[in-house]
Amino acid sequence: MRRVVWSVLTGLGVFFIVVALMLRFFTPGQALKFPLNEHTIVTLQGTGTYFSEAQLQELADVNVRVTETVLGDVGAADAAGSSHTAVWRSFASWTDTNNHARFVYMSSRLPFDRKTGVLLHCCGATASETDISGRHGLNISGQSFVWPIGTQKKTYQVFDATLGAPTPYRYTGTQIVNGITTYKFVTHIPNTAVGTQTVPASLVGLPGIEVTLPEYYTATKVVWVDPVTGAPIRHDERGQLVLQDSSGTTRLVLFAGDLVTTPASVAANASSDRSNQLKIQLVETVLPISAAVLGLILLVAGLVLSRRRMDDEYEESEDFDDGESYGSPA
């Protein structure tokens, strides 16, 4: 009976040690992925100037609220035919809260790798903005909604919908945001032509009936990312989108302003991120260590029983040998 127990304990010990090794070195790469059914709402607020189509004039120093909703497109992800691909849709609107008027609307449908967050060329990737026209050949690549699980202290290319291409976000330091240690990344987008607009000449102070002017985009953006989960916790930006003439003179401000993530959105992002941190810790640390400890306990118990069995057999052998010696004829 003791031999059976020893064999079972030893076998189970080896089994759980192997499981621990798999949980530590194999399972995280398979299990830790961004979800397919994402649903988040993030709000930024600040002040700015923009062109009101309703009033046909620039409105300055208005309170601006940007609301972005991200929804996972599970059907599109399933159609992609790969468990490593997620497809998320984003809907964002810029609202003048003083006049209760929405003046910019953006949408995107972007597939990406569920481990790295890098955008993929599949599944009908799209990005559009209502105030940008005449753009050609969008370069949809780089990071977008999320950063890699295990973000590093280096420069990342991140897709910018207004630019229509990725822009480099450079690591600038580590900062605590709502109790979470984050990596701070910054990008500076120089004055760049991104499209054209045809407008009444009188609107921009030029002769004629209509003129087509290039749109120029300038921005500085900052994002704080949890390097463990790859989730952005906070996102601030300052930028402008204007119409300029051939001399570089600004003829019309489509939008210019400073925006920061609201405290409520930062708190919601942090709360969700802590939950994801616990999941990663469970997969990468808690389960492997627990399995390893259990395996070692079972293995030691099996070895102890084995040693006792060997000792008992040795004692029985000695008793048998002594009995033969005492019972032999003189």
Q: What pLDDT, in 10s, does the model give residues 171-185?
A: 999 999 999 999 999
User: Which alpha helices (H) appear in the chain, and where do they start and end?
Assistant: 2-25, 27-31, 74-80, 263-281, 287-327
Q: Would you place residue 9 in the very low, low, confident or very high pLDDT band (cuts 50, 70, 90)? A: low
When mean pLDDT is compared across 58-67, 137-146, 245-254, 286-295, the lowest value belongs to 286-295
Instruction: Please tell me the number of Cα atoms within 13 Å of 291 on its side-chain side.
Output: 18
| pLDDT of amino acid 80 | 80
Structure tokens at 42: 């993030």
Q: Would you place residue 290 in the very low, low, confident or very high pLDDT band (cuts 50, 70, 90)?
A: low
- The answer to whether the CB of 239 falls within 8 A of the CB of 115 is no
**Per-residue pLDDT at 178:** 93
258-295 residues labelled b (16+ CB within 10 A) or e (exposed): ebbbbeebbebbbeebeebeeebeebbeebbeebbebb
State the Cα–Cα distance between residues 330 and 276, nearest whole angstrom.
83
The DSSP annotation for 75-96 comes to HHHHHHT-TTEEEEEEEEEEEE
pLDDT tens-digit readout, 23-81: 455 544 545 678 888 899 999 999 999 998 888 889 999 999 999 999 998 888 888 87
CA distances in angstroms from 295 to 20, 156, 307, listed in the order given: 8, 41, 18
pLDDT band for 140, please (50, 70, 90 cuts): confident
CB 164 within 8 A of CB 139: yes
Q: What percent of the chain has pLDDT over 90?
A: 44
Listed range (1-15, 181-195, 208-222, 229-243) with the worst mean pLDDT = 1-15
Which candidate, 66, 122, 112, 80, places its Cα nearest to that of 239?
66
The H or E element that residue 240 is part of is strand 232-244
Are the beta carbons of 169 and 186 closer than 8 angstroms?
yes
Q: Go through 238-248 and write b for each residue having 16 or more CB atoms within 10 A of its CB, e for each that does not.
A: bbbbbbbeeee
Distance from C-alpha of 95 to C-alpha of 52, rounded to nearest angstrom: 11
Tell me the C-alpha distance between 96 and 280, whole Å: 40
> Is-contact 191 136, C-beta < 8 A?
no
Section 154-166 average pLDDT: 93
What is the pLDDT, as a whole number, of residue 314?
44
pLDDT band of residue 330 (cuts 50, 70, 90) is very low
3-state secondary structure of 192: strand
Mean pLDDT of the chain, nearest integer: 81
How far apart are alpha carbons 313 and 148 in whole angstroms?
Answer: 59
Give me the pLDDT at residue 160, please.
92
Please write the tens of the pLDDT for every residue from 68-126.
999 998 888 888 877 889 999 999 999 999 989 888 888 888 899 988 999 988 877 77
Read off the pLDDT of residues 28-38 as tens digits, 9 standing for 90 and up.
454 567 888 88
